[in-house]
Structure 1
Amino acid sequence: MAEWDIRKLQILRTLRERGTVTATAEALHMTPSAVSQQLTNLSRQLGVPLLEARGRRVRLTDAARLVLTHTEPVFEQLERTEAALAAYSQGEAGEVRVGAFSTAVPALVVPAVRALRTTHPRVTVRVREAEAAEAYDLLAAGDVDLALSLAAEAPSAADPRFTQVPLLADPLDVALPPDHPLATAPALTLTDLAAEPWIFGGSGPWSDITRRACEASGFSPAQGHSASGWTAILAMVEAGMGVALIPRMAAAHRDGVVMRDLGPDGPVRHVTAAARRGGETGRAVTHVLEALRDAV
């Protein structure tokens, strides 16, 4: 019977996700030579080739993919075992590391932490702000226990590494300067603003969300200015430089900006929480998820 080494299997699994030995080494805080050596040893132990060269890169063989397919349940069970041990040894105590995108921190994570101080004071939450897509990388690498991200940035629901929990559909309102002709219109849709200059980032999730929302309404937004921070975006709207979509969760009151609801058919962004599969059963993680749902 082959000798199975969980650590080496984790390295192989990370290589599948990261694509290169260098990226794998960075994710696991190893050297590239150590990664290569561990995978060579694993290949020898299992008696099958796991990697094949493709120029300067390597790719997983069919045998390596077969191994990972059959060991995913092992990783899930190990996560469940760790969660069970934590519950057994710590009871209601524990530390949960949360990676969350910027607007989720004040809107969801902070209220959840405040509530936990009363309901479960022995649960400690450590917060790490991260871009929406980066949160999943941190989760996969084991650097956080929960990732708050956007559904648009999430891996496929069939990804065996994660359990995803929908949290909320966050409406997108449109920000207009007070003197805009449509600022006081009885009803407003995105199509009414098709000819306006739009303010949004040149790339990243918010750029994609803005473009998709406008294209779903039948037009491609003309980007008048590029900015990714809400303070800068709202300042430009106040100055009459353009209009912008703002998630309601991120909206801050500004006297010189009118926020308009786009109605029940208006665009939304979907916010999700994710844990490594099996890890969501841990008592401390469960308490944090409940507090996040309450914050919603």
Structure 2
Amino acid sequence: MAEWELRKLRILRTLRERGTVTATAEALHMTPSAVSQQLTNLAAQLGVPLLEAQGRRVRLTDARLVLAHTEAVFEQLERADAALAAYARGEAGQVRVGAFPTAVPALVVPAVRALRETHPGVTVRVREAEAAEAYDLLAAGDVDLALSLAAEAPSAADPRFTHVPLLTDPLDVALPPDHPLARAAGLTLTDLAAESWIFGGSGPWSDITRRACERAGFSPEQGHSASGWTAILAMVEAGMGVALVPRMAAGRRAGVVLRELGADRPVRHVVAAIRKGAGEAPAVDRVLRALRRTAGRAA
């Protein structure tokens, strides 16, 4: 099988277009002797004569038919150049995003929709993960960008990550509609100290609920354990207890009253994290910017 060299094939194609070695050399910023030498080498590699003398000039032999087959190669190379240029401008590429459950519908999905309109060549692959797990995935290289909670972040001195604050998400209290405090004025977390609380037995939401209540001066009595918002809100609706619910959480229920708390209102801080230096990747930067715009609207 012949060895193909694109540079020499380009010279051959230019000779076909320009007609003379001199014109070819001028077009390619080469000397005529260099053009002749490259074409002689190409003929030797292909095992067929490419040029034949015609007076003081040369012309291509019928072996120029090789160009009919190489045009497809040149076309694909042009496409590759265009794809690389789009990638370099952040207009194409794949970004893997790890996000905790409530961030997926509230932040990631709207950001992906916006990117489809502005940068359809950027593909986002979403992986749902708990807030702490998102950092493990990021450190392992399994995702390119992680959405998590500041409370779950490694130390700010950790040299592996760059953190980007996205929003402060207030926590509201979910009450059954017939609860005596469902419409009380100036409701605070302390007013609910004697309630039966619904939250997970472990994990970030358990920690957030316990910390919020402890800052308000009491330790919450856990009446039921659940980690999914559908289960938690269903139990609240049934009058089985109360729960803290992040405002950006999906799955609100008509039979649940969500009340904003007063002075002791707890919040959680949502952050994005990337590996140090990864923000220089244009596609990652595009996704991060889309998430920041979405978070700004959500806030």
**Structures share a fold, TM > 0.5?**
yes
Given the superposition, is the C-alpha separation of residues 271 and 225 from structure 1 closer, same or farther in structure 2, using an over 3 Å criterion?
Answer: same
**Distance between the aligned counterparts of 1:117 and 1:88, measured in 2?**
15
Shift of 1:253: 2.9
Pair 1:224 & 2:223 matched: yes
Q: 1:1-296 alignment to 2 at 5 Å?
A: 89=88, 91-263=90-262, 265-296=264-295
Q: Helix, strand or coil for the counterpart of 1:195?
A: coil
Which amino acid is 2:285 matched to? T
Aligned-residue offset at 1:221: 0.3
How large is the Cα RMSD of the aligned pairs? 1.5
Q: Distance in 1 between matches of 2:85 and 2:145?
A: 16
Residue 265 of structure 1 deviates from its aligned partner by 4.3
What is the percentage of aligned positions where both structures have the same residue?
83
SS in 2 for 1:236: helix
Structure 1 position 87, deviation (Å) = 7.3
Which structure's CA Rg is the greater one?
2
Unaligned segments of structure 1, at least 5 residues: 1-84
After superposition, give the CA deviation of every residue in 1:210-233 in whole Å (9 maximum; x if it has no partner).
000000000000001111110111
Output the CA distance in 2 between the equivalents of 1:150 and 1:276. Answer: 16
Q: Hey, what's the Cα distance between the residues in 1 that align with 2:85 and 2:280? A: 11
Measured in 1, the distance between the counterparts of 2:156 and 2:148 equals: 14
- Paired residue total: 212
- Residues 129 and 91 (structure 1), Cα distance of their counterparts in 2 relative to 1, 3 Å cut: closer
Distance 2:120 2:180 in 1: 51
Residues in 2 aligned to 1:88 and 1:229: alpha-carbon distance in whole angstroms: 38
Where 2:254 maps in the other structure, the secondary structure is coil
Question: TM-score under structure 1 normalisation?
Answer: 0.69
Alpha-carbon deviations, 1:110-167, whole Å to 9, x = none? 0000000111111110101111111111101111000001111110111000001111
In the TM superposition, residue 252 of structure 1 has moved relative to its aligned partner by 2.9
- Deviation for aligned residue 1:288: 0.5
Runs of 4 or more above 6 Å deviation? 85-88
What is the rounded CA distance, in whole Å, between the counterparts of 1:203 and 1:189 in structure 2? Answer: 25
Quick one: distance in 1 between partners of 2:198 and 2:125? 33
Counterpart of 1:153, as a letter, is E
Q: Say which SS state the counterpart of residue 293 (structure 1) adopts.
A: helix
CA contact (8 A) 2:174 2:242 kept: yes
CA contact (8 A) 1:86 1:94 kept: no
In the aligned structure 1, how far is the partner of 2:250 from the partner of 2:263? 18
Unaligned 5+ residue runs, structure 2? 1-83
Change (3 A) 1:143 1:251: closer
